[in-house]
Structure 1
Amino acid sequence: MTDQRFTTAVYSERLARVAELARESDVDAVIVGPGPDLEYLTGSTASTFERLTCLVVPTARAPWVVVPRMELAALRSSAVGDLDLETRDWVDGEDPYTLALKGIGAGVTAVSDALPALHLLPLADRLPVVPQLATPILRRLRMVKDAAEIDALRRAGAAIDRVHARMHEFLAVGRTEREVADDIAAAMIVEGHTRAEFVIVGSGPNGADPHHEVSDRVITANDVVVVDIGGPVAPGYNSDSTRTYCLGDPGPEVVAQIEILQRAQRAAFEMVAPGVTAHAVDAAARDLLTAEGLGDRFIHRTGHGIGLSVHEEPYIVSGGDTVLEAGMAFSIEPGIYLEGRWGARIEDIVVVTADGAESVNRRPHGLTQL
Structure 2
Amino acid sequence: MSDTTGAPNAFPPEVYAQRLRMAQRQAAAAGLAGILITPGPDLQYLAGSRMTSFERLTCLVLPTGRDPVIVVPRLEVAALRGSPIDELGIEMLPWVDGDDPYGLVRQTVGNTGRIAVADAMPALHLVPLAAQSSHPFELATPVLRELRMIKDDAEIAALRAAGEAIDRVHARIPEILTAGRTEAAVAADISAAIVEEGHTSAAFVIVGSGPNGADPHHEVSSRVIERGDVVVVDIGGPVPAGYFSDCTRTYSVGEPNSEATEKIGILEEAQRAAVAAVRPGATAGDIDAAARDHLAGHGLSDYFVHRTGHGIGLSVHEEPYILAGSNQTLRAGMAFSVEPGVYLPGKWGARIEDIVVVSNDGAVTLNNQPHGLTVLP
Q: Choose the corresponding residue for 2:154, options 145, 148, 160.
A: 148
Deviating more after overlay: 269-278 vs 67-76? 67-76
Alignment correspondent of 2:83: 78
> Residues 272-283 of structure 1 correspond to what in structure 2 (within 5 A)?
272-283=278-289
1:297 equivalent to 2:303? Answer yes
> Residues 157-172 of structure 1 correspond to what in structure 2 (within 5 A)?
157-172=163-178
Q: Choose the corresponding residue for 1:37, options 42, 48, 51.
A: 42
Percent of paired sites with the same residue: 61
Q: Residue type matched to 2:308 in 1?
A: T
1:46 equivalent to 2:51? Answer yes
> Residues 313-352 of structure 1 correspond to what in structure 2 (within 5 A)?
313-352=319-358
Alignment correspondent of 1:187: 193
Deviation at 1:4, TM superposition (A): 5.0
Q: Residue type matched to 2:320 in 1?
A: P
Runs of 5+ unmatched residues, structure 1: none
Alignment correspondent of 2:60: 55
CA RMSD of aligned residues (A): 0.9
1:20 equivalent to 2:19? Answer no
Counterpart Cα distance in 1 of 2:340 and 2:187: 22
Deviation at 1:76, TM superposition (A): 2.5
Counterpart Cα distance in 2 of 1:354 and 1:263: 24
Alignment correspondent of 2:263: 257
Alignment correspondent of 1:101: 106
Q: Residue type matched to 1:276 in 2?
A: A
Runs of 5+ unmatched residues, structure 2: none
Deviation at 1:116, TM superposition (A): 1.1
Counterpart Cα distance in 1 of 2:227 and 2:49: 47
Counterpart Cα distance in 1 of 2:21 and 2:115: 17
Q: Residue type matched to 2:211 in 1?
A: P
Q: Residue type matched to 1:21 in 2?
A: Q
Deviation at 1:5, TM superposition (A): 5.0
1:54-101 C-alpha deviation (Å, 9 max, x unpaired): 100001210001111111111224221211100001100001011122
Q: Choose the corresponding residue for 2:72, options 51, 67, 70.
A: 67
Counterpart Cα distance in 2 of 1:54 and 1:358: 37
Deviation at 1:103, TM superposition (A): 3.3
Deviating more after overlay: 307-316 vs 119-128? 119-128
3-state SS in 1 of match to 2:307: coil
3-state SS in 2 of match to 1:228: strand
Provide the TM-score with structure 2 as the length reference: 0.97
3-state SS in 2 of match to 1:120: helix
Provide the TM-score with structure 1 as the length reference: 0.99
Q: Choose the corresponding residue for 1:6, options 8, 11, 19.
A: 11
1:271 equivalent to 2:282? Answer no
Alignment correspondent of 1:367: 373
Counterpart Cα distance in 1 of 2:246 and 2:337: 8
Deviation at 1:136, TM superposition (A): 0.5
3-state SS in 2 of match to 1:233: coil
Contact 2:149 2:334 in 1 (8 A): yes
Alignment correspondent of 1:200: 206
Alignment correspondent of 1:116: 122
Deviation at 1:128, TM superposition (A): 2.3
Deviation at 1:104, TM superposition (A): 2.2
